């Protein structure tokens, strides 16, 4: 009879520095895990298990919402819906990519980098360029760059929304359900950034939040909840402002929507390939050497 053993877990001093997280003292997987071990580890309690599931399960929620929209909107022929099509494809892609990255990131040091190349690539092209292999030599600089990769594109994309919200605060527009959802989205977006940068609460009590409640898990939850409110706001705006949008601007074109998506995917894959090829190759060592590498 086939029997499967759950992978062994390790403490922070037993794994190489590249796999260590601030304030997380235990629950680490083997730094040379097989693909099967990585999959099995998602069904045992490690310091990555909640990270995996908090993005894997929402992927199916967003796919369900996408399927409902596909039955009610004509994504094929109605060009007004093409920006929404691109948006829905991406909000289904990014949590799935993140879940896969957290699942398979302990196959090797090189695999860890490549997994997060894809993770950041799914979030945005801007983010990808900052995930390089400087975190061991310059851990604080690497953290600043990775945080900026989220913050800078978010601020750039959100300036029109900030203007709209401020205009409503000054009485230039009437409150709406879309604006309420946008406000919730912004709140969770700022909370997401704070959690990612602060490493709270595990920084205050190292070892107490190794398995449940550390900042990256909370970061995942806030990101998904924020995306939900953003999606609701986009859908409300599309329905309520369709007449105004179509009368004040031309209909979206294929090159400006799906064409840009295809170009972005190709550029991301190209950059991922370049940086993956440039990764320093770590020679295979014995298990004990890897577990005690400093």
Nearest to 33 by CA among 97, 101, 100, 103: 103
- The answer on pLDDT for 45 being more than 90 is yes
Residues 6 or more apart in contact with residue 32 via CB below 8 angstroms? 106, 107, 108, 287, 290
User: How many Å apart are CA 291 and CA 25, to the nearest integer?
Assistant: 14
For 28, phi and psi rounded to 5 degrees?
A: -80, 145
User: How many Å apart are CA 105 and CA 18, to the nearest integer?
Assistant: 11
How sure is the predictor about 148, in pLDDT bands with cuts at 50, 70 and 90?
confident
How sure is the predictor about 152, in pLDDT bands with cuts at 50, 70 and 90?
confident
- The answer on pLDDT for 244 being more than 50 is yes
Give residue 160's pLDDT: 81
User: How many Å apart are CA 22 and CA 257, to the nearest integer?
Assistant: 40
Give residue 80's pLDDT: 94
Higher pLDDT residue, 47 or 241? 47
Return mean pLDDT, the chain. Answer: 86
Nearest to 59 by CA among 194, 187, 220: 220
- For residue 58, whether the previous peptide bond is cis, meaning omega lies within 30 degrees of 0, is no
Give residue 126's pLDDT: 36
> What dihedral angle (degrees, nearest 10) is formed by the CA atoms of 255, 257, 258, 263?
70
Give residue 3's pLDDT: 56
- Segments in the chain forming alpha helices (H): 35-41, 49-72, 82-104, 109-123, 125-128, 139-169, 177-198, 215-240, 242-248, 260-277, 287-291
What's the predicted TM-score (pTM) here?
A: 0.87
User: How many Å apart are CA 239 and CA 190, to the nearest integer?
Assistant: 27
Percent of the chain scored above 90 by pLDDT? 57
User: How many Å apart are CA 138 and CA 148, to the nearest integer?
Assistant: 15
Give residue 249's pLDDT: 84
Residue 12 DSSP code: G
Q: What is the pLDDT of residues 51-95, one digit of tens each?
A: 999 999 999 999 999 999 999 999 999 999 999 998 899 999 999
Determine if residue 207 is left, alpha or beta; phi over 0 gives left, psi from -120 to 50 gives alpha, anything else beta: left
């Amino acid at each position: 009879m086939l029997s499967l053993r759950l992978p062994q877990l390790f403490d922070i001093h037993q794994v190489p520095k590249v796999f260590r997280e601030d304030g997380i003292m235990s629950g680490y997987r083997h730094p040379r895990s097989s693909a099967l071990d990585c999959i099995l580890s998602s069904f045992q309690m490690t310091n990555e298990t909640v990270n995996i599931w908090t993005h894997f399960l929402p992927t199916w929620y967003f796919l369900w919402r996408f399927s409902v929209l596909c039955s009610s909107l004509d994504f094929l022929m109605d060009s007004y819906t093409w920006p929404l099509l691109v948006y829905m494809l991406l909000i289904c892609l990014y949590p799935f990519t993140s879940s896969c990255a957290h699942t398979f990131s302990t196959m090797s040091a090189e695999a860890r980098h490549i997994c997060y190349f894809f993770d950041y690539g799914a979030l945005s092209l801007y983010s990808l360029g900052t995930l390089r292999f400087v975190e061991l030599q310059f851990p604080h600089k690497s953290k600043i760059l990775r945080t900026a990769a989220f913050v800078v594109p978010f601020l750039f994309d959100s300036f029109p929304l900030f203007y709209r919200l401020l205009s409503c605060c000054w009485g230039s527009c009437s409150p709406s359900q879309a604006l309420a959802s946008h406000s919730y989205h912004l709140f969770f977006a700022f909370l997401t950034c704070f959690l990612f940068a602060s490493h709270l609460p595990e920084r205050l009590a190292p070892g107490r939040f190794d398995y449940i409640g550390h900042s990256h898990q909370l970061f995942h939850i806030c990101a998904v909840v924020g995306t939900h409110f953003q999606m609701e706001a986009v859908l409300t705006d599309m329905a309520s402002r369709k007449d105004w949008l179509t009368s004040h601007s031309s209909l979206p074109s294929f090159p400006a929507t799906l064409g840009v998506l295809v170009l972005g995917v190709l550029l991301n894959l190209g950059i991922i390939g370049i940086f993956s090829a440039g990764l320093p190759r770590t020679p295979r060592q014995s298990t004990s050497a890897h577990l005690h590498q400093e």
